[in-house]
């Protein structure tokens, strides 16, 4: 399980807690961060295999955070969550080679299926 580390970054504590428990139930080790600064620190200290980012956060949005991450880590797979999907967000996500773009407002079942499928693809194709 050590190589199945996932970093989740989201400023909504309830969502972060829920998604952490869900991903852990699939057998992954989950590291969480509630802001961009904590995410960068966790990335350096824990070496996750994949990062799951919220698009909208108060200190730095997910796209800006991923751009910072890409300065030093061009290969880490990323999955983007958002409560408000827009065409601009999806276009920016493609530029940064995001594996999946998952709307938060879809049903939890759809969100879970999409996230699980994206994580399985990432870990099956290192």
For residue 44, give Cα distances in angstroms to 30, 73, 78, 95, 104: 15, 10, 16, 23, 27
Place of tokens 């998952």: 102
Question: Quick one: average pLDDT of 107-125?
Answer: 73
Which tokens hold the place of 107?
Answer: 């049903």
Position 103 scores a pLDDT of 76
The number of distinct structural domains making up the chain is: 1
- pTM here is 0.84
Answer with the residue of higher pLDDT: 61 or 108.
61
Instruction: Please give the Cα distance from 19 to 32 (Å, whole number).
Output: 10
Instruction: Please give the Cα distance from 54 to 125 (Å, whole number).
Output: 23
pLDDT in tens, 3-44: 789 999 999 999 899 889 988 988 889 999 999 999 999 999
Position 41 scores a pLDDT of 94
What CATH number did the domain enclosing 24 receive?
3.40.50.2300
pLDDT in tens, 54-85: 988 888 988 899 999 999 888 888 888 877 76
* Residue range(s) defining the domain that contains residue 41: 5-124
């Amino acid at each position: 399980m050590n190589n199945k580390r996932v970093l989740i970054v989201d400023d909504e504590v309830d969502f972060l807690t829920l998604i952490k428990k869900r991903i852990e139930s699939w057998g992954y080790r989950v590291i969480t961060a509630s802001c961009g600064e904590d995410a960068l620190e966790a990335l350096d200290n824990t070496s996750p295999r994949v990062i799951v980012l919220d698009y909208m956060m108060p200190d730095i949005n997910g796209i800006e955070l991923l751009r910072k991450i890409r300065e030093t880590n061009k290969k880490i797979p990323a999955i983007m969550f958002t409560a408000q999907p827009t065409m601009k967000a999806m276009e920016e996500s493609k530029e940064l080679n995001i594996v999946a773009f998952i709307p938060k407002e879809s049903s939890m079942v759809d969100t879970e299926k999409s996230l699980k499928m994206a994580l399985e693809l990432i870990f099956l194709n290192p």
